[in-house]
Amino acid sequence: MLTDEKSKVIPLRVGMTTHRVPDPGVLVIFGATGDLTHRKLMPALFDLFCDGKLPQGFSVVGFARREKSNEQFRGEMRAAADEFARNKPGDSDRWDEFSQGLYYHRAEFHESQGYASLGELLKQIDAARGTRGNRLFYLATAPEYYALIVQQLGAADLCKSSGWTRVIVEKPFGRDLASAHELNMQLLPTFNEPQIYRIDHYLGKETVQNVMAFRFGNTIFEPIWNRNYIDHVQITAAESVGVEDRGGYYDKAGALRDMVQSHLLQLVSLTAMEPPVSFDSNAVHDEKVKVLRAIRPFTPERIERDIVRGQYGRGKSMLGYREEPRVDPNSSTETYVALKLNIDNWRWAGVPFCVRTGKRLQKRFTEIAIQFRAVPHPLFAREALQTVNPNALALRIQPDEGIHLRFAAKRPGQTTELREVKMDFYYKTAFGSAPGEAYETLLIDAMRGDSTLFNRKDEVEIAWSLITPVLEYWANAPAPNFPNYAAGAWGPEAADTFLQSEGREWRAA
């Protein structure tokens, strides 16, 4: 029976089972000396190993351009796990066992000989560790190398083996519709669509996955999940940090590319989708694609009316965006976007989806908030109703992951006065631990061949088709008077007024 640190039984964890362990295989990480491997991939793999979720003989090959021995690579990966993993190598005798499956392969991405020698190494690992020819290639490099690496894998016949072969492609997947389509066309001659796993780490978050479970596993919410009962939906991804060490990348991307096209449109589609016929990956993707197709395209008039962009300036003891390292001092890149999406289908007609994201905001939080309509008739005293807001349901994705419901209750005493009260559910409290790291879920799913939490080709291209007209319009229109919000604020004033004009306001964190 599962217990917490004080040996008390955790009721919601009793009877919990783990998923099946994947088949043995080799994960080849291209760009293995980079920040993604250090901060996310290796810590996630070590945690999976310590939790007993990796198969016997599972192995990792780090492919990169720097000279390095196996032992040097293992030492660096131990330091990464020690800093970022839940299970610390220093506290566990399992690191030695795990590190026996770590290998380093030095080669340039463009050198065919490097891929031929990689093939020989993979054969040796198959023989020594029983990995059965199963291959998972992870493109953790800069995007300009994606197509090159895949073409070299195909030329070296590394995509053909006695086992399964798959490739994980990191975000960003293109910069606009044309580049995303081109990248898809470059991948497909080597890998079939079911072998391509386009990753979006937001989809690996336990609380994002719970959106579907909450909607389709409970009869009390799905019947009111429509335009008859919902006034509007708010989706917020607020960050308190600035661009940190990503200035060079971010100044070419901006908030619309970096957050809206991928993460936030995924949250919109999960919130708005119809029930799939099954939890099969294609059935889920089909419903998400229907939502994206139903979003009203952005015309120049709608861009001016329904989208606000911002850029942070100096705040209290905080630099402005244009003062950040590797950022153009005259940059017109947006660090904040707020927009209204209209989904033109039967369920959501007339219900705006209000989406916002930004850096250097007052507080870090990500949530989906369902704002219900007000009661149709003021049964209680009008003055009492003025102090009570309509019902709201918030699915908090980070931090303090959980679900919160706001409703009205009568105040005790000889009165009909109402007060707002809340019902709160917190993952950590209910299940005895916080949700795991998103990359743990995504890596395991890719090993199992489950692409439900990854993006399909048409899904990516439709999302870009919505965002590309906005990018093109902004490229040919003068930027606002940036900066237009101070670091540590909640964004530009224009983002508040375009909701207030319709009698709505952004939720407080």
**Residues classed as catalytic:** 263
Distance CA 119, CA 137 (A): 12
Distance CA 333, CA 482 (A): 9
Question: String of b and e for 300-313 (b: at least 16 CB within 10 Å)?
Answer: eebbeebbbbbbbb
Q: Are 454 and 199 in contact (CB under 8 A)?
A: yes
Q: Are 255 and 335 in contact (CB under 8 A)?
A: yes
Tokens 């198969």 found at: 55
Q: Are 264 and 237 in contact (CB under 8 A)?
A: yes
Query: What are the φ/ψ torsions at residue 22 (nearest 5 degrees)?
Result: -65, 165
Q: Are 363 and 356 in contact (CB under 8 A)?
A: no
Tokens 């080709």 found at: 457
Task: Name which of 354, 339, 340, 392 is nearest 370 in CA terms.
Answer: 392
What torsion do the CA atoms of 139, 141, 145, 151 make, to the nearest 10 degrees?
A: -20
Cβ-based burial of 504 (10 A; exposed 0-12, middle 13-18, buried ≥19): middle
Helix 438-448 and helix 206-216, axial crossing angle in degrees, nearest 10 = 70
What torsion do the CA atoms of 443, 273, 222, 437 make, to the nearest 10 degrees?
A: 20
Q: Are 393 and 369 in contact (CB under 8 A)?
A: yes
Tokens of 361: 């905001």
Tokens 């026996």 found at: 100
Distance CA 473, CA 339 (A): 15
Distance CA 491, CA 334 (A): 11
Distance CA 312, CA 320 (A): 6
Radius of gyration of the chain (CA): 24
Q: Are 26 and 138 in contact (CB under 8 A)?
A: no
Tokens of 378: 């003021």
Distance CA 22, CA 449 (A): 9
> What amino acid occupies position 9?
V
Q: Please report which helix (H) or strand (E) contains residue 42, including its range.
A: helix 42-50
Q: Are 104 and 32 in contact (CB under 8 A)?
A: yes
Tokens of 324: 């950040």
Beta-carbon count within 10 A of 450 CB: 18
